[in-house]
Homo-oligomer: A and B are copies of this chain.
Amino acid sequence: MTKAAETGPLPADLRAVVDELAAGASLLTGFPGGRAILPSRDAVIQIVEELRSVFFPGYFGTSDVRAEALHFYLGATLERALQGLEEQVRRAFAFFARHDYHQCTHCAEESRRVAAQFLAGVIEIQRLVRSDVEAAYEGDPALKTRDEAIFAYPGIFAVTNQRIAHRLHVLGVPLIPRIITEYASTVTGIDIHPGARIGERFFIDHGTGVVVGETAVIGARVRLYQGVTLGAKSFPLDEQGKPIKGIDRHPVVEDDVVIYSGATILGRIVIGQGSSIGGNVWLTHPVPPNSRITQPEHR
């Protein structure tokens, strides 16, 4: 046994290690003005859960709701979510730009604007997530009631998060949208980038392993199964050999398309309206409307 083992971690070691760790950490984060105030992942998750209980009261948050009190419950919960959102968005603006949180009046103003505009769009999000529940109910023979979809469907959970995140993405908020979709990903294994544009009545069944990229466009009444990837084929590099950011590079999936489990669709190609893409299919070229693509069976 070594000497260290006999006596426990030596004091000198701990101090030395800590000083080295601190040096490394400073390089990484570049604290502005000597003080970094970051968005809090825990706070963001709480906001999303408050919004989920606004969209589905009784199913999430409180379990016991009287019709007369619904008004108050929704108002108080929404207000709490908006307050939290304004704070976290303000932190995100400041930290993203490496501004001093307390000095950046622009960050404060922008976060107020975002909270107000988010509020203005809340009804539309409610409409969309309710349409998603309808799509689940109609699309899944194992589903006996809409309640079950709301309580227990990973697809509903993940798409609700993405619709919230997408709205914030459109409003120009950095960092927070990714935290929101990543949270859905940890819960469901469904990873949809906040940038993806998704129509109404979207249904993902089972869902583990689904990946939808940043510039994907998905029409109305689309259905995906587990393990589907809507990804980028490859991406052009700039002169230093780094990937060029911000180019449309993911599929466009038109209305009424169904994509079965494990299918991989790569690149800025169009999957025509009403098409059906079979399980495990590997696809990098566009397909016309109403196509049926399948992979050969193994025997």
Contacts and interface: CB of A to CB of B under 8 A. Distances in A.
Given A126-B24, A127-B24, A262-B264, A5 B109 contact: yes
A74 B4 CA distance: 21
A251 interface: no
Query: How many of chain A's residues touch chain B, expressed as a range?
Result: 35 or more
Contact of A31 (B5, B65, B146, B283): B65
A142 B249 CA distance: 10
A19 B74 CA distance: 9
A76 B78 contact: no
Contacts of A104: none
Interface string A155-199: 000000000000000000011001101100111110101010000
B293 A18 contact: no
Q: Tell me the number of copies of this protein.
A: 6
Contact of A14 (B79, B154, B182, B262): B79
A4 B117 contact: yes
A220 interface: no
Contact of A22 (B74, B153, B266, B295): B74
A34 B66 contact: yes
A152 B182 contact: yes
Contacts of A10: 68, 116
A280 to B, nearest CB: 5
Nearest to A264: B279
A270 interface: no
Contacts of A73: 76, 79
B249 A266 contact: no
Given A139-B243, A206-B191, A182 B151 contact: yes
Interface in A125-164: 126-127, 130, 133, 138-148, 151-154
Nearest to A261: B229
Of A69, A123, A284, which is in contact with the most chain B CB atoms at under 10 Å from its CB? A69
Interface of A: 1-2, 4-6, 8-11, 13-15, 17-22, 24-26, 28-29, 31, 34-41, 43, 54-60, 62-80, 82-83, 91, 95-96, 102, 108-110, 112-113, 115-117, 119-120, 122-123, 126-127, 130, 133, 138-148, 151-154, 174-175, 178-179, 181-182, 185-189, 191, 193, 195, 206, 208-209, 211, 213-214, 225-227, 229, 231-232, 235, 242-247, 249, 261-262, 264, 266, 278-285, 293-299
21 contacts: A5-B110, A14-B69, A17-B119, A17-B123, A24-B130, A29-B59, A35-B67, A38-B65, A40-B63, A69-B75, A73-B79, A141-B245, A143-B245, A151-B182, A152-B178, A152-B182, A282-B296, A282-B297, A283-B298, A285-B297, A295-B298
